[in-house]
A and B are shown apart, each in its own frame.
Chain A
């Protein structure tokens, strides 16, 4: 089985711009979560989607949004980028039917740099 894939792997944007990141989960996984990782704040939960519905949201401003498609692929969008949004954005998928929803499989991440 192919792992979780994320595109692009690296991205440089300017303050005020917006960005869209993409995540393809492991085949059969319908739950997709997004995390932001920074040296200062660690790994922080952004949101989780299941069957195209956002079920959980972390403590991030409304500039951060996401969606999930019928094939379970997910995108996250950050609008009006700020310098502090520079981070590694990780996507993770899990299978609820496996009985192990706590076992999340992470993609390699998208390294976003805001200048």
Chain B
């Protein structure tokens, strides 16, 4: 089957850097996406890695290593508004397979 595992919860303080890992057991993913979901809200797209390496989008960066079946989302200069759930998602032929999700709590 296809599965993407993430830590269930991560905590950090404002201004810090946090890394959310995603390990997957599957084949055939075209790439790895990251989505953010605030409580009561809809998931919103953050980034996508089609190739191995680092993609940077403002305070957020995402990394993919296909050989290690591993990716991560790096959030810098954390703000209170970054408190949310974060999901990695493997993209494969018009569908997203979501990871287990990581709840990030940012403290002042």
The interface of chain A, by Cβ under 8 A from chain B, is: 4, 31, 33, 35, 42-45, 48, 50, 55-56, 58, 90, 92, 100-109
Contact = CB atoms under 8 A, between A and B. Distances in A.
Interface string B39-76: 00111110010000000000000000000000000000
A104 B42 contact: no
Interface of B: 30-31, 33, 41-45, 48, 87, 89, 91, 93-101
B24 to A, nearest CB: 14
16 contacts: A35-B96, A35-B98, A42-B98, A44-B98, A45-B95, A45-B98, A48-B94, A56-B94, A90-B43, A100-B48, A102-B48, A102-B91, A104-B96, A105-B45, A106-B43, A108-B41
Contacts of B42: 4, 90, 106-109
Nearest to B91: A102
A48 B48 CA distance: 20
Nearest to B32: A102
A45 B97 contact: yes
B96 to A, nearest CB: 6
B86 to A, nearest CB: 12
List 5 A-B pairs, minimum CB-CB distance, nearest first.
A43-B98, A106-B42, A102-B91, A56-B95, A103-B45
